[in-house]
């Protein structure tokens, strides 16, 4: 079964000025596509020919894990945004954020710091443990908290390819914009 690049739910220019159409062209069109192509090239003969991405992420390591996780992580990341989405969490997710972090503002500060201080390439995650508690987690490279049994809710890609076209080396400015395009209704539906 060959993997395919999933379609975006919005036009390439929908997230501008926070994320430009040019960044989408490269980040989604080139990088995300490359992980799909790489995985399709790696899978034959590994025993993962009929596996879904989640199973591969849980069981594989090395290049197969890296490319499978990068496909999943990017799909999850790009699916978190919309042009005019809900700017704050509501309902059950809002309650859980308050219970785990004190307030939405405290959570935002913690997540922002985690994304800003992650050394090198990787992802910052909001994920939920089986006991219902929420956690902010730094993962290097292709890391994904589902590998440790947590369920991802939100992620910020801090690989340089996510922001270098629009923000050059200014990762903090990119993270600031990240908060403007998250659609919290989508995040709430994952919870
Ligand atoms: Fe990326």
DSSP states along 157-190: E-SGGGTHHHHTT-HHHHHHHHHHHB-HHHHHHH
- Return the closest-CA partner of residue 163 out of 27, 15, 55, 70: 27
Distance 190 CA to ligand 1 centre (A): 21
* pLDDT for res 1: 66
Would you identify the CATH topology of the domain 21-78? Helix Hairpins (1.10.287)
Strand 122-128 to 151-157 pairing: antiparallel
Q: Is the pTM of this model over 0.85?
A: yes
Establish whether domains 21-78 and 91-190 are of one fold. Answer: no
DSSP states along 83-144: TT--SS--HHHHHHHHHHHSSHHHHHHHHHHHHHH--SSEEEEEEE-TTS-EEEEEEETT--
Distance 51 CA to ligand 1 centre (A): 23
| Residue pLDDT, tens place only, 134-175 | 999 999 999 999 999 999 999 999 999 999 999 999 999 999
Distance 45 CA to ligand 1 centre (A): 27
Distance 37 CA to ligand 1 centre (A): 15
The verdict on whether omega for the bond into residue 143 sits within 30 degrees of 0, i.e. cis, is no
In the chain, which residues have pLDDT < 70? 1
Show me where the domains of the chain are located: 21-78, 91-190
Distance 23 CA to ligand 1 centre (A): 10
CB 167 within 8 A of CB 144: no
Residues measured by CB to lie within 5 Å of ligand 1, the ion: 157, 159, 162
* pLDDT for res 7: 98
Stated as kind and residue range, the H or E segment containing 136 is strand 134-140
Would you identify the CATH topology of the domain 91-190? minor pseudopilin epsh fold (3.55.40)
Please provide the size of the chain in residues.
191
Q: How far apart are CA 178 and CA 53, in angstroms?
A: 25
* pLDDT for res 36: 98
């Amino acid at each position: 079964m060959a993997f395919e690049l999933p379609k975006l739910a919005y036009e390439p220019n929908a997230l501008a000025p926070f994320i430009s159409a040019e960044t989408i062209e490269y980040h989604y069109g080139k990088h995300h596509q490359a992980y799909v192509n790489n995985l399709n090239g790696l899978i034959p003969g590994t025993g993962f020919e009929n596996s879904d991405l989640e199973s591969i992420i849980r069981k594989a390591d090395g290049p197969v894990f890296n490319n499978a996780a990068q496909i999943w992580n990017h799909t999850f990341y790009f699916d978190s945004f919309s042009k005019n989405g809900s700017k704050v969490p509501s309902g059950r997710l809002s309650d859980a954020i308050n219970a785990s972090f004190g307030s939405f503002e405290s959570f935002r500060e913690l997540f922002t710091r985690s994304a800003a201080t992650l050394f090198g390439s990787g992802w910052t995650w909001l994920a939920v443990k089986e006991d219902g508690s929420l956690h902010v987690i730094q993962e290097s490279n292709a890391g994904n908290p589902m590998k440790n049994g947590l369920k991802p809710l939100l992620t910020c890609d801090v690989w340089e390819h996510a922001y270098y076209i629009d923000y050059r080396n200014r990762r903090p400015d990119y993270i600031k914009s990240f908060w403007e395009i998250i659609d919290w209704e989508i995040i709430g539906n994952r919870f």
